[in-house]
Amino acid sequence: MKIAVFGLGYVGIVSAACLARDGHQVIGVDPQATKVDLVNAGRPPIVEKLVGELIAEAVGNGALRATQSAEEAVSFADLSLICVGTPSRRNGSLDTGAVERVCEQIGAAVAAKGRDHVVVLRSTVLPGTMRGLVIPTLRRAAGDAAGHLKIANNPEFLRESTAVYDYDHPPKTVVGADRPEVAELVLSLYEDLPGPKIATRLEVAEMVKYADNAWHAVKVSFANEIGNIAQAVGVDSWEVMDIFCQDTKLNISPYYMKPGFAFGGSCLPKDVRALTYKGRDLDLDLPLLNSVLPANARQIERAMQIVSDYGLRNVAFLGISFKAGTDDLRESPLVALAERMIGKGLNLRIYDRNVHLSRLMGANRAYIEETIPHIGQILSDDLDQVLEHGELVVIGNPAPEFKTVAERLRPDQKVLDLARIPGLAARLGDRYRGINW
């Protein structure tokens, strides 16, 4: 099939690369010339395992290219996947401006094209967005050609740093559409992938992603509170949660059930905000969901209090992206912690092998420049140099190179571990502290 992918961020570029690998002809669309040029040169616009190899191969064999022109893409394609961002506004509501703009472009291009076109929204949106925004905008822009539109919702379940694996091993594939034949057409894109294939109503497909992400967010905060209590009474929180997670009868996944630092990234915080905003809008009482983000913020405050208790001024901060194996800094709790340390007058040096200011772009770059404007002065790609600086070493994520930290430290250095690096506690003794174990 000929497919246009609108938005070359994490979801879009992974989808484009995997679809091209699987035999489809794919054209990526993005307003940023830098991303388009990178893809056309066979290079990835993000840091993500396997994506670079897939893009290089697909561009090399002609299966993938990119453009800034929506009209060119829709004219070429049979189906368009919308994968643009839906970030949070200041009040927690969802900013669907990019979705609306892309729908206007696609609708106008379908009007010019004059034949059937399938439009699939993959971006995360609240229930009612398809009927209230996406479909009306597409039809209005298409005008007399609105009858050529076939519209569906196809939520993604990709995790950053394992996105290609997740694409190939989905827990489920969900497509919402008013017409069964449209849902079946979209599901056919994934016919060779494992897991259940589910065709459902538009609103159900929209809500599924929020149910997933709200539950994942709840699990992280729940485990952290258990861990904080366990540490206070001298109990090994990880042993407690390992036992807890042996009960899998109620679909409890052990993946998130580990005490640790706060959650972050481009999905969980904004989706919880959007869902609780929707609850307030409907005058609903949602005490658990309303408590998730405050509980998460308290875990950042807890880490800051532990740092303050050390009374050490020079800090080596290892890993600032919210997750090892990615360069995504948006809503990283580690960025928030670093910002607070700087605000308290601590002398910070930061190492993260995946974060290079020259390669950051779009919302990712804007976020870090707004949050830590002078990060370029304290960010280094030399791990030993950063370690040498610190009296206190804060480990933010479990990047592979941090497994050797114990051998690199001076006898006077202390470690606050937010990621539970295997074996580090045993090797460092009383110089080591975990956030809640």
* Identified catalytic residue from 18, 83, 103, 267: 267
Greatest Cα pair distance in the chain: 75
Handedness of CA 326, 329, 331, 336 (dihedral sign): positive
Rounded distance between C-alpha atoms, residue 34 and residue 8, angstroms: 11
Question: Which segments are annotated as binding site?
Answer: 30, 35, 86, 124, 157-160, 209, 256-260, 264, 270, 323, 330
Tell how far CA 189 is from the center of its chain: 23
Residue positions forming the annotated binding site for NAD(+): 30, 35, 86, 124, 160, 270, 330
For the annotated binding site for substrate, the residues are 157-160, 209, 256-260, 264, 323
Please spell the DSSP secondary structure of 8-57, one letter per residue.
-SHHHHHHHHHHHHTT-EEEEE-S-HHHHHHHHTT--SS--TTHHHHHHH
Best CA proximity match to 134, nearest among 146, 121, 122, 147: 121
- Asked if 103 is an active-site residue, the reply is no
48 Cβ contact list (under 8 Å, min separation 6):
10, 13, 14, 160, 161, 163, 164, 325, 326
Q: What angle do CA 130, 134, 136 make, to 5 degrees?
A: 105
For the chain, the distance separating the N- and C-terminal CA atoms, rounded to the nearest angstrom, is: 51
The token pair that represents 183 in the structure block: 């849902």
Nearest alpha-carbon partner for 65 in 103, 24, 106: 24
At 431 the three-state DSSP class reads: helix
For every residue of 94-130, DSSP letters joined together read B--HHHHHHHHHHHHHHHHH-S-EEEEE-S---TTHI
- Sequential DSSP letters for 200-260: E-HHHHHHHHHHHHHHHHHHHHHHHHHHHHHHHTT--HHHHHHHHTT--TT---SSS-S--
Q: Enumerate residues 6+ apart whose C-beta is below 8 A from 152.
A: 118, 119, 120, 121, 175, 176, 177, 182, 183, 186, 202
Element (H, E) at 351: strand 347-351
Bridge partners of 347, per DSSP, are: 314
Catalytically active residues are 267
